[in-house]
């Protein structure tokens, strides 16, 4: 099986994007995997620091590795939005395939410093073990958390400049780069954020490494396709599937007030996530 790095490079050449979906439980994992397997496309499972503490770091690694080895399927695990070298290191040591150091709330210099520390450690482990761990850095305002906001936050207008992107990538040696290009974490009730394909293309040109789009929930299909054409090779979706899960679960409980079998109550929630993931993966991979 190809490595995640090879699948990302393949996505770059084909002008498609690999879907990245976060989980908090087994239901979401099964739904995401079912959708990816149905379409026969690679998929990345993400765990933020909060999700990781709930699911358990080592158990998540064991689950993903078991599926990958059992089915010989390209499913990978990412440490999404980790905020310190220590937490990134723990995920690398536990067996994650890729990690993100999110230093967006730090100064430019401090973000570079810790991102490089993460890169140096991951690449050291790669040399010692033959693994191919990827490190992603993030620069600019994308917001944080699965928040449902009334309006687009003011900071959304502050995008990553090509000049800062080029400097950041050169000074850190990161493998993947997540710039701020108009998308926002969470969902917006009034108004929609939009990606800036011209900026994406400029950043892609000066950095020369795979680009990642965060805050995919709530974007239009056109935003996604334009971003992919401009140079995005991986797209994160989380809030959208969380909302679908909760709404389906609420309905299931209301419709079946006497049901006490968990897997029967939870099945509609699994199906709701699977439906969204399948639609997104079809769009990202240019499938009918």
**Contact (CB, 8 A) for 200 and 177:** no
pLDDT at 274: 98
**Contact (CB, 8 A) for 119 and 106:** no
> Which helix (H) or strand (E) segment is 209 a member of?
none
Residue 235's nearest CA partner among 79, 43, 77, 70 is 43
3 state SS of 21: strand
* Matching residue, tokens 């899960």: 245
Active-site residue list: 80
Give the chain's domains with CATH numbers: 4-243+276-284 (3.20.20.70)
- 187 Ramachandran zone, left/alpha/beta (phi>0; psi -120 to 50): beta
C-alpha to C-alpha distance for 223 and 216, rounded to whole angstroms: 9
> Which helix (H) or strand (E) segment is 246 a member of?
helix 239-255
pLDDT at 159: 85
**Contact (CB, 8 A) for 204 and 227:** no
* Matching residue, tokens 């959208």: 240
3 state SS of 236: strand
pTM across the whole model: 0.93
pLDDT at 144: 56
C-alpha to C-alpha distance for 272 and 2, rounded to whole angstroms: 30
pLDDT at 186: 47
Which tokens go with 179? 């710039």
Residue pLDDT tens, the chain, 288 long: 899 999 999 999 999 999 999 999 999 999 999 999 999 999 999 999 999 999 999 999 999 999 999 999 999 999 999 999 999 999 999 999 999 999 988 999 999 999 999 999 999 999 999 999 999 999 986 655 555 554 455 555 578 999 999 999 999 999 999 998 875 654 444 456 668 899 999 999 999 999 999 987 778 899 999 999 999 999 999 989 999 999 999 999 999 999 999 999 999 999 999 999 999 999 999 997
- Whether the CA torsion 105, 107, 108, 113 is positive or negative: it is negative
pLDDT at 184: 63
pLDDT at 150: 45
> Which helix (H) or strand (E) segment is 76 a member of?
strand 75-82
């Amino acid at each position: 099986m190809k490595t995640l790095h090879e699948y990302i490079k393949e996505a770059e050449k084909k002008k498609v994007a690999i879907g990245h979906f976060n989980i908090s439980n087994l239901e979401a994992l099964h739904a995401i995997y079912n959708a990816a397997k149905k379409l026969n496309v690679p998929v990345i499972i993400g765990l933020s620091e909060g999700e990781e503490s709930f699911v358990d770091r080592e158990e998540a690694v064991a689950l993903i590795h078991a599926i990958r080895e059992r089915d010989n399927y390209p499913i990978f695990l990412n440490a999404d939005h980790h905020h310190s070298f220590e937490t990134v290191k723990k995920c690398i040591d536990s067996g994650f395939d890729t990690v993100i150091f999110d230093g967006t709330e730090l100064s430019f210099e401090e973000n570079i410093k810790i991102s490089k520390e993460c890169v140096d450690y991951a690449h050291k482990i790669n040399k010692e073990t033959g693994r191919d761990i990827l490190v992603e850095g993030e620069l600019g305002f994308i917001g944080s958390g699965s928040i449902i906001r009334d309006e687009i936050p003011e900071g959304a207008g502050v995008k990553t400049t090509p000049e800062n992107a080029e400097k950041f990538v050169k000074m850190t040696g990161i493998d993947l780069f997540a710039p701020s290009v108009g998308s926002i974490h969470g969902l917006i009730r009034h108004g929609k954020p939009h990606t800036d394909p011209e900026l994406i293309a400029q950043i892609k040109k000066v950095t020369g490494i795979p680009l990642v789009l965060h805050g995919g929930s709530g974007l239009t299909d056109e935003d996604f396709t334009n971003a992919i054409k401009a140079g995005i090779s991986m797209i994160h979706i989380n809030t959208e599937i969380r909302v679908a899960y909760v709404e389906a679960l609420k309905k299931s409980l209301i419709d079946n007030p006497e049901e006490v079998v968990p897997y029967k109550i939870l099945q509609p929630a699994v199906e709701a996530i699977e439906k969204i993931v399948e639609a997104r993966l079809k769009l990202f991979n240019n499938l009918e």
